[in-house]
Structure 1
Amino acid sequence: MKTKHYLTLSDAEFLLDAAHQYAMQNSFNVSITVVDETGNLLVMKRMDGAAPMTANLAIEKARCSAMSRCPSKLFEDIIKGGQMGFLTMETFSGMLEGGEPILYQGQLVGAMGVSGVKSFQDAEIAQVAIERFLAKFA
């Protein structure tokens, strides 16, 4: 039998805090979410000044990334490339850059979604938080 790794609430809060700290350092007002490997919400924060719509966008980006095991940017690139035939999902809002999978020892344990600044900056916030989190286990 294999061991299954998963995010604890403490792990999710660490990721959220690391992303929040990075966003604050860069004067970004964003919404940040962490979901488990099934795309279910673990923690969420909408910073002061972040537009209300960013909360839903962050959740959808994280869910998209968890379900696909890929950064949500992949789908944004497919859409921009005109390959729209496969798009049958209920919502397309998650298919924007800013969703990042969290992989530990090759296993998907969850994903982060960030929304509120330019999409590459949303992704950067999540990537920095994930790098800080995984560095704890190196």
Structure 2
Amino acid sequence: MRGLSLRQALTAIDCALGYAQQQSLPPLTIVVLDAGAHVKASASADGSGTQRYEIALGKASAALGMGFGTRTFSELVKKGTLPAEFSSAINGATHGRFIPLPGGVLIFEQGQVVGAVGISGASSNADEQVAIAAIEQCGLTAGL
């Protein structure tokens, strides 16, 4: 097994969709990757936009690829620690699977990265809040 179980991934999706509904957020798409960056599970709420899957996948992939959440990457670019061109270069190198906006969160279990969640559909801040809530409701630890 590559970290995250299918049951954990499906539970995270259920938790994310439930939390989003409680917060009256627009329809979301959630992608859960295992530690090897393989799609473990995904779901789109009714009415979610057609490109939301690719964005959610890109957020989760970016978190795993960099080893930290996408908010951290976004802040490093805003502070000038990393050049903005770095995002474009990585996105090109990964064939569009690098979306450095908040909403990509690592999943830790017992101190080890076991996967990542990427969410798209609301504001980037709300996407991230949903990801964190879903991970924590599963008894796992969110890594920003």
Bin of the TM-score, shorter chain as denominator length: 0.7 to 0.9
- Paired residue secondary structure (1:51): coil
Are the aligned partners of 2:54 and 2:97 in contact in 1 as well (CA < 8 Å)?
Answer: no
Q: Which residue is 2:21 aligned to?
A: 24
Query: Among residues 9, 13, 16, which one is paired with 1:12 in the alignment?
Result: 9
Q: State the alpha-carbon separation in 2 of the partners of residues 68 and 11 from structure 1.
A: 23
Q: Percent identity?
A: 30
Alignment CA distance shift 1:93-1:51 (3 Å): farther
What residue ranges of structure 2 are gaps of 5+ in the alignment? none
- Aligned position for 1:42: 40
Q: Which residue of 1 aligns with 2:52?
A: 54
What's 1:127 paired with? 132
Match of 2:62 in 1: 64
Give the Cα separation in 2 of the matches to 1:75 and 1:127: 17
| TM-score, length of structure 2 as denominator length | 0.83
Structure 1 residue runs of 5 or longer lacking an equivalent are: none
3-state SS, counterpart of residue 78 of structure 1: helix
Instruction: Name the CA distance, whole Å, in 2 between partners of 1:113 and 1:9.
Output: 16
State the Cα distance separating 1:67 from its structure 2 match: 2.0
Distance 1:41 1:32, change over 3 A: same
- Say whether the 8 Å CA contact 2:57–2:97 is kept in structure 1: no
Shift of 1:86: 3.8
Q: Is the 2:74–2:100 Cα contact (8 Å) retained in structure 1?
A: yes
Q: What is the Cα-based RMSD across aligned positions, in Å? A: 1.9
Supply the distance in 2 between the matched residues of 1:5 and 1:92 (Cα, whole angstroms): 20
